[in-house]
Protein backbone atom coordinates (compact mmCIF):
# COMPACT_ATOMS: atom_id res chain seq x y z
CA UNK A 1 0.00 0.00 0.00
CA UNK A 2 1.45 3.41 -0.99
CA UNK A 3 1.98 5.86 1.85
CA UNK A 4 0.15 9.16 1.80
CA UNK A 5 2.11 12.13 0.45
CA UNK A 6 2.29 15.78 1.53
CA UNK A 7 0.15 16.85 -1.43
CA UNK A 8 -2.68 14.57 -0.29
CA UNK A 9 -2.43 15.78 3.32
CA UNK A 10 -2.88 19.32 1.99
CA UNK A 11 -5.86 18.15 -0.06
CA UNK A 12 -7.36 16.56 3.05
CA UNK A 13 -6.89 19.81 4.99
CA UNK A 14 -8.88 21.62 2.31
CA UNK A 15 -11.82 19.55 3.64
CA UNK A 16 -11.42 20.79 7.20
CA UNK A 17 -13.89 23.68 7.34
CA UNK A 18 -14.96 26.25 9.86
CA UNK A 19 -18.57 25.58 10.87
CA UNK A 20 -19.48 29.28 10.75
CA UNK A 21 -17.99 30.75 7.59
CA UNK A 22 -17.48 27.45 5.72
CA UNK A 23 -13.88 28.23 4.73
CA UNK A 24 -11.22 25.54 5.10
CA UNK A 25 -8.12 25.83 7.30
CA UNK A 26 -6.18 26.17 4.04
CA UNK A 27 -8.34 29.06 2.81
CA UNK A 28 -8.04 30.73 6.19
CA UNK A 29 -4.23 30.57 5.98
CA UNK A 30 -3.97 28.44 9.10
CA UNK A 31 -1.63 25.77 7.68
CA UNK A 32 1.91 26.64 8.72
CA UNK A 33 3.74 23.43 7.88
CA UNK A 34 3.14 19.90 6.63
CA UNK A 35 5.71 17.12 6.46
CA UNK A 36 5.18 13.46 5.67
CA UNK A 37 7.46 10.44 6.01
CA UNK A 38 6.36 6.87 5.29
CA UNK A 39 2.78 7.41 6.40
CA UNK A 40 3.74 9.57 9.41
CA UNK A 41 2.23 13.03 8.97
CA UNK A 42 3.16 16.16 10.95
CA UNK A 43 0.90 19.18 10.57
CA UNK A 44 1.45 22.54 12.20
CA UNK A 45 -1.50 24.92 12.36
CA UNK A 46 -1.79 28.55 13.33
CA UNK A 47 -4.54 28.88 15.92
CA UNK A 48 -5.22 30.91 19.08
CA UNK A 49 -4.15 29.25 22.30
CA UNK A 50 -7.65 28.09 23.26
CA UNK A 51 -7.67 24.46 24.40
CA UNK A 52 -11.13 23.63 23.08
CA UNK A 53 -10.44 25.16 19.67
CA UNK A 54 -7.07 23.48 19.27
CA UNK A 55 -8.45 20.16 20.43
CA UNK A 56 -11.18 20.37 17.79
CA UNK A 57 -8.65 21.26 15.10
CA UNK A 58 -6.40 18.37 16.14
CA UNK A 59 -9.20 15.83 15.99
CA UNK A 60 -10.52 17.32 12.74
CA UNK A 61 -7.11 17.18 11.09
CA UNK A 62 -6.60 13.58 12.13
CA UNK A 63 -10.04 12.70 10.86
CA UNK A 64 -9.76 14.31 7.40
CA UNK A 65 -6.27 12.94 6.74
CA UNK A 66 -7.22 9.41 7.80
CA UNK A 67 -10.48 9.60 5.85
CA UNK A 68 -8.74 10.64 2.63
CA UNK A 69 -6.10 7.95 3.15
CA UNK A 70 -8.83 5.35 3.52
CA UNK A 71 -10.74 6.62 0.50
CA UNK A 72 -7.64 6.50 -1.72
CA UNK A 73 -6.19 3.30 -0.23
CA UNK A 74 -3.11 5.15 1.08
CA UNK A 75 -1.37 4.26 4.30
CA UNK A 76 -1.62 6.76 7.19
CA UNK A 77 0.30 5.54 10.25
CA UNK A 78 0.08 8.61 12.45
CA UNK A 79 -1.09 12.21 12.26
CA UNK A 80 0.64 14.56 14.68
CA UNK A 81 -0.77 18.05 15.01
CA UNK A 82 0.96 20.97 16.70
CA UNK A 83 0.08 24.63 16.96
CA UNK A 84 1.63 28.05 16.88
CA UNK A 85 0.02 31.39 17.64
CA UNK A 86 -1.47 33.13 14.58
CA UNK A 87 0.33 36.40 15.23
CA UNK A 88 3.66 34.58 14.97
CA UNK A 89 3.43 34.68 11.17
CA UNK A 90 4.90 37.45 9.07
CA UNK A 91 2.99 38.15 5.84
CA UNK A 92 5.05 37.23 2.81
CA UNK A 93 4.89 39.41 -0.31
CA UNK A 94 4.02 37.07 -3.19
CA UNK A 95 6.78 38.41 -5.43
CA UNK A 96 9.60 37.59 -3.01
CA UNK A 97 9.12 33.98 -1.96
CA UNK A 98 12.83 33.08 -1.87
CA UNK A 99 13.88 35.98 0.27
CA UNK A 100 11.12 35.36 2.74
CA UNK A 101 11.81 31.69 3.31
CA UNK A 102 14.08 31.98 6.30
CA UNK A 103 13.47 35.59 7.15
CA UNK A 104 10.16 34.67 8.70
CA UNK A 105 10.51 33.87 12.41
CA UNK A 106 7.97 31.10 11.98
CA UNK A 107 10.54 29.24 9.84
CA UNK A 108 9.99 26.54 7.26
CA UNK A 109 9.72 23.63 9.59
CA UNK A 110 12.55 23.92 12.11
CA UNK A 111 11.83 23.45 15.79
CA UNK A 112 12.77 27.06 16.46
CA UNK A 113 9.87 28.81 18.07
CA UNK A 114 8.63 32.15 16.78
CA UNK A 115 10.92 34.92 17.88
CA UNK A 116 13.92 32.64 18.38
CA UNK A 117 17.14 34.02 16.98
CA UNK A 118 18.31 32.75 13.63
CA UNK A 119 21.20 34.32 11.73
CA UNK A 120 20.62 38.00 11.00
CA UNK A 121 21.02 38.81 7.31
CA UNK A 122 20.76 35.17 6.18
CA UNK A 123 17.59 34.56 4.18
CA UNK A 124 17.57 30.80 3.53
CA UNK A 125 19.33 28.07 5.48
CA UNK A 126 19.56 24.65 3.87
CA UNK A 127 21.05 21.63 5.64
CA UNK A 128 22.63 18.82 3.63
CA UNK A 129 22.58 15.48 5.41
CA UNK A 130 23.13 11.80 4.73
CA UNK A 131 22.45 8.61 6.58
CA UNK A 132 26.06 7.49 6.34
CA UNK A 133 29.51 8.83 5.55
CA UNK A 134 31.22 8.63 2.18
CA UNK A 135 28.12 9.01 0.00
CA UNK A 136 29.17 12.46 -1.21
CA UNK A 137 27.27 14.68 1.19
CA UNK A 138 30.07 17.28 1.43
CA UNK A 139 30.61 17.13 -2.33
CA UNK A 140 26.94 17.85 -2.96
CA UNK A 141 26.79 20.60 -0.29
CA UNK A 142 29.84 22.32 -1.75
CA UNK A 143 28.75 22.16 -5.38
CA UNK A 144 25.23 23.25 -4.47
CA UNK A 145 26.76 26.29 -2.76
CA UNK A 146 29.09 27.11 -5.66
CA UNK A 147 26.29 26.53 -8.21
CA UNK A 148 23.94 28.92 -6.37
CA UNK A 149 26.72 31.53 -6.17
CA UNK A 150 27.35 31.20 -9.92
CA UNK A 151 23.73 32.24 -10.44
CA UNK A 152 24.41 35.48 -8.63
CA UNK A 153 23.20 34.61 -5.13
CA UNK A 154 25.11 35.48 -1.99
CA UNK A 155 26.04 32.08 -0.57
CA UNK A 156 27.78 30.70 2.50
CA UNK A 157 28.89 27.14 3.27
CA UNK A 158 29.09 26.14 6.92
CA UNK A 159 31.10 23.00 7.55
CA UNK A 160 28.86 21.55 10.24
CA UNK A 161 30.69 18.24 10.08
CA UNK A 162 32.57 19.04 13.26
CA UNK A 163 33.81 15.46 13.62
CA UNK A 164 35.42 15.25 10.19
CA UNK A 165 35.58 18.66 8.52
CA UNK A 166 36.39 18.35 4.83
CA UNK A 167 35.84 21.92 3.65
CA UNK A 168 39.52 22.94 4.05
CA UNK A 169 40.44 20.31 1.44
CA UNK A 170 37.37 20.66 -0.77
CA UNK A 171 37.83 24.42 -1.08
CA UNK A 172 41.62 24.43 -1.06
CA UNK A 173 41.88 26.65 2.03
CA UNK A 174 45.51 25.54 2.46
CA UNK A 175 47.49 28.00 4.58
CA UNK A 176 44.78 30.63 4.80
CA UNK A 177 44.46 31.87 8.35
CA UNK A 178 41.44 32.80 10.41
CA UNK A 179 40.87 36.49 10.96
CA UNK A 180 38.81 38.35 13.53
CA UNK A 181 37.05 41.65 13.10
CA UNK A 182 35.20 43.27 16.02
CA UNK A 183 35.32 39.94 17.89
CA UNK A 184 33.66 38.04 15.04
CA UNK A 185 35.30 35.38 12.91
CA UNK A 186 35.50 36.42 9.27
CA UNK A 187 34.52 33.69 6.80
CA UNK A 188 36.92 32.71 4.04
CA UNK A 189 35.83 33.89 0.58
CA UNK A 190 36.74 31.39 -2.13
CA UNK A 191 35.16 30.18 -5.40
CA UNK A 192 32.47 32.83 -5.02
CA UNK A 193 31.22 31.66 -1.61
CA UNK A 194 31.84 32.50 2.04
CA UNK A 195 32.78 29.56 4.18
CA UNK A 196 33.67 28.60 7.73
CA UNK A 197 34.93 25.32 9.12
CA UNK A 198 36.08 24.02 12.46
CA UNK A 199 38.90 22.43 10.48
CA UNK A 200 40.60 25.83 10.59
CA UNK A 201 40.27 26.16 14.36
CA UNK A 202 41.76 22.86 15.48
CA UNK A 203 44.81 20.76 14.73
CA UNK A 204 43.86 18.95 11.48
CA UNK A 205 45.79 15.84 12.53
CA UNK A 206 43.94 15.40 15.81
CA UNK A 207 40.80 13.28 16.00
CA UNK A 208 37.78 15.39 16.92
CA UNK A 209 35.95 13.62 19.70
CA UNK A 210 33.05 15.69 20.96
CA UNK A 211 30.58 14.56 23.58
CA UNK A 212 26.98 15.74 23.24
CA UNK A 213 27.25 19.11 25.05
CA UNK A 214 30.65 19.84 23.49
CA UNK A 215 29.34 19.11 20.00
CA UNK A 216 26.38 21.38 20.75
CA UNK A 217 28.72 24.17 21.90
CA UNK A 218 31.10 23.78 18.95
CA UNK A 219 28.34 23.95 16.36
CA UNK A 220 26.62 26.86 18.12
CA UNK A 221 29.84 28.82 18.34
CA UNK A 222 30.93 28.36 14.76
CA UNK A 223 27.43 29.23 13.51
CA UNK A 224 26.84 32.29 15.66
CA UNK A 225 30.31 33.76 15.82
CA UNK A 226 30.96 33.80 12.10
CA UNK A 227 30.32 37.17 10.47
CA UNK A 228 28.19 35.89 7.57
CA UNK A 229 26.92 39.31 6.51
CA UNK A 230 24.05 39.30 3.99
CA UNK A 231 23.41 35.89 2.38
CA UNK A 232 20.66 34.54 0.15
CA UNK A 233 21.59 30.96 1.08
CA UNK A 234 23.60 29.38 3.85
CA UNK A 235 24.31 25.71 3.13
CA UNK A 236 25.14 23.56 6.14
CA UNK A 237 27.15 20.38 5.58
CA UNK A 238 25.95 18.16 8.46
CA UNK A 239 27.88 15.24 9.96
CA UNK A 240 26.75 11.84 8.63
CA UNK A 241 24.03 9.98 10.50
CA UNK A 242 21.68 11.14 13.18
CA UNK A 243 23.21 12.85 16.17
CA UNK A 244 23.76 15.92 18.29
CA UNK A 245 24.51 18.42 15.56
CA UNK A 246 21.21 18.17 13.66
CA UNK A 247 19.37 18.52 16.96
CA UNK A 248 21.35 21.62 17.91
CA UNK A 249 20.85 23.01 14.43
CA UNK A 250 17.08 22.55 14.55
CA UNK A 251 16.92 24.17 17.99
CA UNK A 252 19.12 27.06 16.98
CA UNK A 253 18.22 27.91 13.42
CA UNK A 254 15.24 28.67 11.32
CA UNK A 255 15.66 26.38 8.29
CA UNK A 256 14.24 26.48 4.77
CA UNK A 257 14.72 22.72 4.65
CA UNK A 258 17.07 19.80 4.29
CA UNK A 259 18.55 17.94 1.34
CA UNK A 260 19.31 14.23 1.76
CA UNK A 261 22.19 12.71 -0.21
CA UNK A 262 22.06 9.00 -0.96
CA UNK A 263 23.80 6.55 -3.27
CA UNK A 264 21.61 4.06 -5.16
CA UNK A 265 22.38 0.87 -3.18
CA UNK A 266 19.86 -0.68 -0.84
CA UNK A 267 22.05 -0.30 2.26
CA UNK A 268 22.53 3.41 1.55
CA UNK A 269 18.79 3.85 1.08
CA UNK A 270 18.07 2.31 4.47
CA UNK A 271 20.38 4.85 6.10
CA UNK A 272 18.84 7.69 4.12
CA UNK A 273 15.38 6.67 5.35
CA UNK A 274 16.70 7.01 8.90
CA UNK A 275 18.02 10.49 8.06
CA UNK A 276 14.61 11.41 6.63
CA UNK A 277 12.90 10.21 9.82
CA UNK A 278 15.32 12.26 11.88
CA UNK A 279 14.53 15.46 9.96
CA UNK A 280 10.87 14.69 10.32
CA UNK A 281 11.22 14.22 14.07
CA UNK A 282 13.03 17.54 14.24
CA UNK A 283 10.22 19.15 12.24
CA UNK A 284 12.67 20.07 9.50
CA UNK A 285 11.04 20.28 6.09
CA UNK A 286 12.76 17.92 3.62
CA UNK A 287 13.40 19.64 0.30
CA UNK A 288 14.24 16.34 -1.37
CA UNK A 289 16.71 13.56 -2.18
CA UNK A 290 19.83 13.63 -4.38
CA UNK A 291 21.16 10.40 -5.87
CA UNK A 292 24.96 10.60 -5.95
CA UNK A 293 27.27 8.19 -7.81
CA UNK A 294 24.20 7.32 -9.84
CA UNK A 295 26.07 5.97 -12.86
CA UNK A 296 29.63 5.94 -14.23
CA UNK A 297 30.81 7.08 -17.64
CA UNK A 298 33.69 4.86 -18.80
CA UNK A 299 36.55 5.78 -21.14
CA UNK A 300 34.53 4.03 -23.83
CA UNK A 301 31.81 6.69 -23.38
CA UNK A 302 29.33 4.07 -22.15
CA UNK A 303 27.28 4.54 -18.99
CA UNK A 304 27.60 1.87 -16.31
CA UNK A 305 25.04 1.61 -13.51
CA UNK A 306 27.54 0.34 -10.97
CA UNK A 307 25.46 0.84 -7.84
CA UNK A 308 22.01 0.34 -9.39
CA UNK A 309 20.99 3.67 -10.87
CA UNK A 310 17.59 4.92 -9.78
CA UNK A 311 17.59 3.27 -6.34
CA UNK A 312 17.57 6.55 -4.41
CA UNK A 313 15.00 8.02 -6.78
CA UNK A 314 12.68 5.08 -6.08
CA UNK A 315 13.26 5.54 -2.37
CA UNK A 316 12.30 9.21 -2.61
CA UNK A 317 9.09 8.23 -4.41
CA UNK A 318 8.34 5.66 -1.74
CA UNK A 319 8.70 8.28 0.97
CA UNK A 320 6.73 10.89 -0.96
CA UNK A 321 9.78 13.17 -1.11
CA UNK A 322 10.79 15.30 -4.09
CA UNK A 323 13.67 13.96 -6.20
CA UNK A 324 16.26 16.66 -6.79
CA UNK A 325 18.46 14.96 -9.37
CA UNK A 326 21.25 12.48 -9.98
CA UNK A 327 25.02 13.07 -10.06
CA UNK A 328 27.22 10.58 -11.94
CA UNK A 329 30.32 8.93 -10.54
CA UNK A 330 33.09 10.85 -12.23
CA UNK A 331 36.87 10.80 -11.85
CA UNK A 332 37.29 14.46 -12.72
CA UNK A 333 34.77 15.42 -10.05
CA UNK A 334 36.75 13.45 -7.47
CA UNK A 335 40.00 15.08 -8.63
CA UNK A 336 38.49 18.58 -8.51
CA UNK A 337 37.33 17.92 -4.93
CA UNK A 338 40.74 16.62 -3.88
CA UNK A 339 42.38 19.65 -5.51
CA UNK A 340 40.03 22.13 -3.85
CA UNK A 341 38.75 23.40 -7.19
CA UNK A 342 34.94 23.09 -7.37
CA UNK A 343 34.69 25.86 -9.98
CA UNK A 344 36.20 23.41 -12.50
CA UNK A 345 33.10 21.20 -12.08
CA UNK A 346 31.07 23.98 -13.70
CA UNK A 347 33.55 25.13 -16.32
CA UNK A 348 35.40 22.06 -17.56
CA UNK A 349 33.12 19.10 -17.04
CA UNK A 350 29.82 19.22 -19.04
CA UNK A 351 28.09 16.08 -17.67
CA UNK A 352 28.85 17.16 -14.11
CA UNK A 353 27.99 20.83 -14.58
CA UNK A 354 24.68 19.79 -16.14
CA UNK A 355 23.89 17.55 -13.18
CA UNK A 356 24.76 20.22 -10.61
CA UNK A 357 22.92 22.96 -12.52
CA UNK A 358 19.79 20.77 -12.43
CA UNK A 359 20.25 20.23 -8.69
CA UNK A 360 20.63 23.98 -8.11
CA UNK A 361 17.42 24.67 -10.03
CA UNK A 362 15.43 21.96 -8.26
CA UNK A 363 16.56 23.09 -4.81
CA UNK A 364 15.48 26.65 -5.57
CA UNK A 365 12.11 25.40 -6.78
CA UNK A 366 11.60 23.37 -3.63
CA UNK A 367 12.60 26.26 -1.38
CA UNK A 368 10.11 28.49 -3.20
CA UNK A 369 7.44 25.81 -2.88
CA UNK A 370 8.13 25.35 0.82
CA UNK A 371 7.72 29.09 1.25
CA UNK A 372 4.37 29.05 -0.51
CA UNK A 373 3.21 25.90 1.28
CA UNK A 374 3.85 27.32 4.68
CA UNK A 375 2.96 30.92 3.87
CA UNK A 376 -0.40 32.50 4.46
CA UNK A 377 -1.24 32.71 0.73
CA UNK A 378 -1.42 28.92 0.28
CA UNK A 379 -4.08 27.63 -2.09
CA UNK A 380 -4.75 23.98 -2.80
CA UNK A 381 -7.04 22.99 -5.66
134 touching ligand ADP, by CB under 6 A = yes
Q: Which of 68, 130, 245, 284 binds ligand ADP (CB under 6 A)?
A: 130
Considering only residues 276 through 305, tell me which ones interact with ligand ADP, judged by CB under 6 A: 292-293
* Least distance (Å) between residue 335 CB and ligand ADP: 8
Partners of residue 159 on adjacent β-strands: 197, 237
Q: Which of 139, 226, 242, 248 binds ligand ADP (CB under 6 A)?
A: 139
Which pairing describes strands 303-304 and 286-297: parallel, antiparallel, or unpaired?
antiparallel
Q: Which residue's Cβ lies closest to ligand ADP?
A: 136
Q: Which of 166, 256, 316, 364 binds ligand ADP (CB under 6 A)?
A: 166
Taking each helix axis from N to C end, the angle separating 350-374 and 137-150, rounded to the nearest 10 degrees, works out to: 80
Per DSSP, the residues of 293-356 read EEEEE-TTS-EE-TT-TTHHHHHHHHHT--EEEEEEE-HHHHHHHHTT-THHHHHS-HHHHHHH
376 touching ligand ADP, by CB under 6 A = no
133 touching ligand ADP, by CB under 6 A = yes
Query: How far, in whole angstroms, is CA 27 from its chain's centroid?
Result: 27
Q: Which of 222, 279, 223 is nearest to 247 (CA)?
A: 279
269 touching ligand ADP, by CB under 6 A = no
248 touching ligand ADP, by CB under 6 A = no
How many residues make contact with ligand ADP (CB under 6 A)?
A: 18
* Least distance (Å) between residue 333 CB and ligand ADP: 4
H or E stretch covering 122: strand 122-130
Query: Of 139 and 374, which has the nearer Cβ to ligand ADP?
Result: 139
Q: Which of 31, 252, 32, 227 is nearest to 127 (CA)?
A: 252
Query: Of 139 and 242, which has the nearer Cβ to ligand ADP?
Result: 139
**Torsion angle, alpha carbons of 337, 342, 347, 351, to 10:** 50
Q: Which of 39, 136, 165, 320 binds ligand ADP (CB under 6 A)?
A: 136
* Least distance (Å) between residue 277 CB and ligand ADP: 18
Footprint of ligand ADP (CB under 6 A): 130, 133-139, 166, 240, 292-293, 327, 329-330, 333-334, 337
Amino acid sequence: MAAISREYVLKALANLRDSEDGRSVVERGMVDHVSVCEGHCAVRLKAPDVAELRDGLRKGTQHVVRALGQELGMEVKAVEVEFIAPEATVDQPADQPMKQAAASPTNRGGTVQPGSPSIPGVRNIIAVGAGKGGVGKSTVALNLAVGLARQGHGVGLLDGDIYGPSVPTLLGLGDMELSLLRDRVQPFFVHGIKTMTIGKMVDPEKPLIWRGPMAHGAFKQITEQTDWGELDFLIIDLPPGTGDVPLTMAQLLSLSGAVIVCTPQRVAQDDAVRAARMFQQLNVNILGVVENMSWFIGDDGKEYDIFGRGGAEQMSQRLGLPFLGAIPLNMQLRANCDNGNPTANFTENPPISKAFDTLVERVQQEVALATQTSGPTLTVN
